[in-house]
Structure formats: C-alpha cells, structure tokens
Amino acid sequence: EVQVVESGGDLVQPGGSLRLSCAASTFTFSSYSMNWVRQAPGKGLEWVSYISARGSTIYYADSVKGRFTISRDNAKNSLYLQMHSLRAEDTAVYYCASEGNWGSYFNYWGQGTPVTVSS
C-alpha cells in the first residue's frame, strides 16, 4: 500500500520559518508530480504548490509566492516545503499529495501536518 507521511509542522511565531517534509514509499516517487495542499481550521482545501516529477517545473499559489519554496529529493523519495515570513493566515493542516496518471488530480494523500502561526 502506498504511504505518504508528512512531518515538520509546529507552532511558530509570525514572521518565522518552518520546513515541512513528506516521505513517500511503495510507489515510484520519482515518476510523479507532487503537490502541497492546505486546509485552514474549519475551512476548505487550498492548493499551495506543485513540482514536476524531475523538479524542473514549479508553481505556487499567489498567496504563498515569494515566501514558500517547494523542492524534492528523488533519491530519498522525499518532498519538502520551506516556508518563510509566516503569517497567521498560513495556519492550516498541510497535506502532501501525489498526482494521478491522467491529470492533476490527487490520488495519494498523507495524513497532514499542522502548522500554527501565532505569537
């Protein structure tokens, strides 16, 4: 069974930084594009960032552009999200999700890691 496990979520002060990690197993990680999706408390789903299978193409939501950086290490089957200049509105559960074979829908999700931005 495919496993996707996020880590790194924490309580951080406004303006602070945090690095999230996502470890994937039992699927060919290096063949799939990956994404970060977040969900603020009691709210809906918000796409955050995309990285292609080899890391050559990257996209960000306008709400995080210039503050967040997505990266991956295919040798370690790992995805990362470096977050800087964090704001209260970045408070959310962050999910790592892989894309399906036929388009940018999300077939495998991790359990999520919570990020709280508060003083």
Partner 1 sequence: DIQMTQSPSSLSASVGDRVTITCRASQGISNSLAWYRQKPGKAPKLLLYAASTLESGVPSRFSGSGSGTDFTLTISSLQPEDFATYYCQQYYNTPPITFGQGTRLEIK
Q: How far is the CB of 63 from partner 1 (least distance, A)?
A: 9
Residue choice 56, 66, 103, 119 for contact with partner 1 (CB under 8 A): 103
CA proximity to 83, closest of 4, 6, 8: 8
94 binds partner 1 (CB under 8 A): no
Q: Is residue 111 within 8 Å of residue 3, measured between CB atoms?
A: no
Q: How far apart are CA 108 and CA 116, in angstroms?
A: 24
Q: How far is the CB of 115 from partner 1 (least distance, A)?
A: 15
Provide long-range contacts, Cβ within 8 A and 24+ apart, for 45-54: 46/92, 48/81, 48/94, 49/81, 50/104, 51/79, 54/30
27 binds partner 1 (CB under 8 A): no
Question: Distance between the two ends of the chain, CA-based, in angstroms?
Answer: 40
- For residues 32 to 61, the per-residue mask of contacts with partner 1, x marking binding by CB under 8 A and - elsewhere, is ---x--------xxxx--x--------xxx
62 binds partner 1 (CB under 8 A): yes
Tokens representing residue 107 in the block: 């077939």
Which is closer to partner 1, CB of 75 or CB of 105?
Answer: 105
Residues at the interface with partner 1 (CB under 8 A): 35, 44-47, 50, 59-62, 95, 100, 102-107, 109-112
